[in-house]
Structure formats: structure tokens, C-alpha cells
Structure 1
């Protein structure tokens, strides 16, 4: 342990030397403390962190949590978690020892958030409150699993908020036809929406497409990446889930359309993005097209819902649909259960036929 006073600034500096998990000697330091006591307290926290002691503060543990978790998550996923962590959780608990936080403390924190408003002066949504609480609970779960914390006070306190399912909106085939007709003045836009509607792919999957993803002989498009705009930079990531990696069979007309579109992209390399636009561009075009076509405005993601509802209407099974659109679980596809046609009458009729066949066979054997 080393604490020094800088003769030029009059501030205190703490230096802590330690051996990491590989056996390598390292050191960390922090400058700018007003008093020696503050520098010594910082060093003490570093010792507790290195020893994985639950006597460390919640703020120090969250630094360790970030170190443990951040490399395992996609950048956009981590950005969302980090914002919640640093703005809604750490400021409240940072100076408390993590092992001393009780369920009553979590309840008090929940009540604080329930009374807060966002930048627009509105109460936080039920979904957001649930998301924030789940993040706090995840931190305590991490402490239990890897650092020996005995219990999760967030779980004991119980959740706040609830998940509010967003309403699924759909376009009928006729509505999409009207929309596509008015979009014909912009080839880039119409081809983008054709891919979204007829393949049911996600926005990020669309914007990451390259010429190499298409096999026009087989009539397929391969989904193996996703586009994100993060902190002003274009970022290509893995798709949303492992099941999102898939090869989609395109209808013949779409295969021809995409060949035509790619011929328009002079000089595009095999691995260049073919839709060099942003999500905001698509949203603007959706606004324009829906207004000009005189149809209801839906979200871009609702084109995916529209594709799924079309497949259901055509009689395809939930298993086949889940495979095409890349649902991680068939349970997600069953969120559309209300759209699947009822087969109760058909089931009853077939069961009746089986019963009659059994009785006829029985009569024959007895005769």
C-alpha cells in the first residue's frame, strides 16, 4: 500500500500493487484525493476487490461486475445495461457494503423510482421498471454465484413493474401492395421493404446484407450478421440469437428483384453493405409511404409480424415458421397463437371417424 501527496497540486494519490489471476504483478492508482484519508479508503477498497471480499461497497462490486460481464455481451446490449446500472442503480447503493444491503433497502429504492419521472415528466413505464429491477437482481445473482453472497435481497423484495407486451400490428397483403406501389419512386426503399416483408427479416439483418449473402442459383439469402449504429459508428455484430443464423429461401420474384437491384450497385464488393441507409431512414420512408398510400402506419418490425401472419394464413406450422424467421424458441412463434386457425372441429371429426372404424372392425371380428 502506498499513499503520496503531490507537492505541485497538493492532492493525494493512492497506488495499489497486486498479483492477478495469471500470477503477474500489476498496479493500479488513482490521483486527485483531497485528503490522505480518502486515498487510504480507496486503497482499502482495491484490496477488498482483489480478495473478492463482500465487505467491499456496492459501487466497487459493480466495477468488478462490469469487468466480468462486459466482454461477454454485444456492445449495444452492454450499452443499455450500463446506462441503467450507472444512472438508476449505482448512485443509490454505491456506498453501502454489498453484503449489508437488505430487502427493505431494495423496497426503499423501488419506491424512489416509482416516484420519479423521465425527461418528459412522465412516470417510468411498467416494462422499464421491471427491466431496472431485473438488472439489480442480476448483480446480486452474480455476487451469489461467483463471490459467495448468501442471498439476493432484490429477489426477496419482489419485482416492481411488469412486462407490457407491445401490440402486434399487421399489414394485409392489400395494404402492403398499396404501400409498395407508392414506394416505386425510390428503388433503394422499395427493394429494402420487399426484403423485410417477403422474408420477415429484422432491420439490423437487412442493413447488414452484402452481395455475398445471396445465392441466386439456389434462390436463397443467408442471415449471419446484424448492423447497429452505436455512438456514431457503424458496427456489424452477430445476429440477435444463435437461431437467427439461418438461410432463407426467397420466392422466385424476389430473387429476380434482388438480382436487378445488385446490378444497379456499380462497384459494390462482395462484402459491402447493399443498403447503406440507417434505421431512421427506413422509419421516415415508412411514414411517407403509409401516408401516401392511405393505410395505417405500422412499425418497421411489424413487417416481420406481417410476414409471420401471412405464413400462418397460408397454413404453415409454427415449427416451420420459427425456422424461417429465426425464433430462438417455438414459444415465441406461439405468441401468434391467436392467428392460427382453430382445428377443433376437424379434430373432433377425425376422432369420430376413428371411433367408427374401430366399431366396424369390432363388428367384423365378431361376425
Structure 2
């Protein structure tokens, strides 16, 4: 028996002896169970997990998934995944055995997610629904690939939502001009939005910038860092992907603006953050500028989309844009194509021109 009564604390605890992945014998203790039954249930599930038996509850397999994956991805990426799993997936599947979850169960879960509305009657976006399903499917894929689960019930059930850029918005140059004129009263807001719009940076990349990242002689900006707040702790991390580390050229006017800004700052060090602010600050400033200017409200990240829109309409190729934006491949850049219906008109004009030339030859 490995379930014991803790008379001092008036609770129960479990001691488990096991052999780890490397063949070493170990022991672990779990305390604080209110009843012997709770302690015994935890012990049974824990033994299944340590023996990698897929008769274990989904929640126990998630612990394995976390141990396998957490050290392989960026901390911020993991935290985002963890929020989705613990709030949207575990409450539904947590106590179900991995081997007993069926496509029908997944469809029932999808129905709940699709029908969900908050206090204001707002439902989840199509993109968010697609993200939820993708995360559930990723967990089952992990079980199939590494722990011999026979099939992925989420894959059989089929997806929900859509990732096809339905929530992607952007500003035209005229809209941006109206907006930026309304936030000029706050220098850090003005210069921050200027960099976001004219360079296409992510907000974390902007917030990590230091004076040393600028070369005003060459008019370049080096993106090598990413500012994030993880569980309340402010952190300077590596950029989102390896391709995100890049050096880009700034327009002449922007280079002059930022140089003047830095020169006006009192005793700023080369390693100091140029924008010692938060994402929430820029969100608030976005709200203020939109209200004053009357332009539609977009997300901060949509300024990055606006920069891509500007570059595409200027005639640059997907490969050129991908390099400037730090996209992993030019395929990501092609995801923006739906933003530009005017291109279809240009194509038809060109086709009409070609047809006319063919008719003249005849």
C-alpha cells in the first residue's frame, strides 16, 4: 500500500516508487488529499502516466505532453498554448481516458465552443475556433506519434473555424495619416507608431529596441530582441523565429525622426529600452487616436499588416517582403493576398490588353 494518513495535517498522501526513462529507481510523494479515495485515484492515474499507458486520463497525458514539449519551444509560445489548454480543453476532456475519447466527443466539444458567448453576447472568432481545434489535435497527434495511440479523434472529427485571414485588417495611407496626426502630442506614442507602420515591426520587437539597434549613418534598424511579459515578469527574449532576426533599412524621414528623438532623451544609455512602455499603453493610444481621427479601430498587429499592404501595392515581390518582415517563408506573405482585391482588377485589365493585342494581330 502506498496511500497513507497524515495525522498531523489531517490529510492523506501518496508515495510512488518508479523507474524513470533512464532506468533509475526514484520515489515521489504527493500530499494534501482530503480523502483516502482522492489519494488512491491520483495514485492509479499517476501510475498509468509513468507507465505511459493511454488508459490514463487526458489531464495526465497533458502532463507528459508538457514535459515533452515545453523545453522545445519559446516560453511565450508555451504560455499561450497552456492558457488555451487549461481553460478551453482540460475542463471538457480532463477526466476522460485517452483511449476512450472519440470523434463524437470532439464534435460535442466543438459545438460548445462554437455556441459559446460571453456576457456581452460575443462569440469566439473563426480564427480562434481554428486555433482551439488545432491545439487539441496537436495533443492527440503527439499521442499517436510517440505513445502509440491508434488514431487522432480530432482529425477524424474535422476542424472548426477558419484561419483564412478573416480577422486581418489594415489601414490605408490616408487612414494612417489621419491617425498619426492625432497622437503627435505624445512623442513616444508618435515615434512608436511611426516605426510600427513604416517598418512593420511586431509590438514585442518595438518594445525591446535600444539606441544601439539603430545605425543612422546607414539608416538601418537591427531587430535582435523581443520584449514580453510572462506571468508578470518583464523579459527580453529572442525574436519569434530565427528569420525574425534581421536588419532593415528605414525611410530617410523616419531615420531622421528617431535620431532626433534619441538626441532629445536625457542621458539615455545605448542599452536602455527606447520605449519603456507596455503593449497595453499602445493599445490605449490606438483607441485614443482612432476616436480622435474617426478611422476604424484595428489591432496593433494590424499595423504590421498595413506595412505589408503598403509594400505589396508599391509592387514589391513576396520574397522581398518576407525578408523585410522576418517571415519564415514567402508562403506566409501570400496569406495577405486577400487584402488586395484591386489586384484582381489590374489582372483583368492586363488580360483585356493581351486579348486586344491578339485580335489586332489577326
**Is TM > 0.5 for Structure 1 vs Structure 2?**
yes
Distance in 1 between residues matched to 2:118 and 2:84, nearest whole Å: 13
**Where does structure 2 lack aligned partners over 5 or more consecutive residues?**
none
Post-superposition shift, 1:214? 1.3
Where in structure 2 are the equivalents of 1:6-17 lying within 5 Å?
6-17=6-17
Question: Where do 4+ consecutive residues of structure 1 move more than 6 Å?
Answer: 347-354
Matched, 1:284 2:284: yes
Post-superposition shift, 1:145? 0.9
CA gap of 1:284–1:41, structure 2 versus 1, over 3 A, is closer
Contact 2:203–2:279 under 8 Å retained in 1: yes
Distance in 1 between residues matched to 2:336 and 2:22, nearest whole Å: 50
Instruction: From the CA coordinates, give the structure whose radius of gyration is larger.
Output: 1
Q: Which residue of 2 aligns with 1:171?
A: 172
Count how many residue pairs are aligned between Structure 1 and Structure 2. 357
Post-superposition shift, 1:168? 2.0
Distance in 2 between residues matched to 1:188 and 1:61, nearest whole Å: 47
CA gap of 1:87–1:293, structure 2 versus 1, over 3 A, is closer
What CA deviation, in whole Å up to 9, does each residue of 1:309-336 have, x standing for no partner?
A: 2223332222212211222232232234
CA RMSD of aligned residues (A): 2.9
Q: Which residue of 1 aligns with 2:304?
A: 304
Q: Secondary structure at the match of 2:227?
A: strand
Distance in 1 between residues matched to 2:77 and 2:226, nearest whole Å: 13
Contact 1:62–1:139 under 8 Å retained in 2: yes
Post-superposition shift, 1:26? 2.9
Matched, 1:214 2:214: yes
Distance in 2 between residues matched to 1:188 and 1:180, nearest whole Å: 12
What CA deviation, in whole Å up to 9, does each residue of 1:230-283 have, x standing for no partner?
A: 333322222223322211011222222222111122332222210011122222
Distance in 1 between residues matched to 2:45 and 2:119, nearest whole Å: 34
Q: Which residue of 2 aligns with 1:150?
A: 150
**Where does structure 1 lack aligned partners over 5 or more consecutive residues?**
357-367
Where in structure 2 are the equivalents of 1:89-100 lying within 5 Å?
89-100=89-100
Distance in 2 between residues matched to 1:245 and 1:351, nearest whole Å: 46
Contact 2:192–2:206 under 8 Å retained in 1: yes
Distance in 2 between residues matched to 1:107 and 1:132, nearest whole Å: 13
Where in structure 2 are the equivalents of 1:123-138 lying within 5 Å?
123-138=123-138
Distance in 1 between residues matched to 2:182 and 2:110, nearest whole Å: 49
Q: Secondary structure at the match of 1:86?
A: helix
CA gap of 1:340–1:203, structure 2 versus 1, over 3 A, is farther
**TM-score between the two structures when normalised by the length of structure 2:** 0.86
Post-superposition shift, 1:102? 1.9
CA gap of 1:61–1:263, structure 2 versus 1, over 3 A, is same
Post-superposition shift, 1:38? 3.5
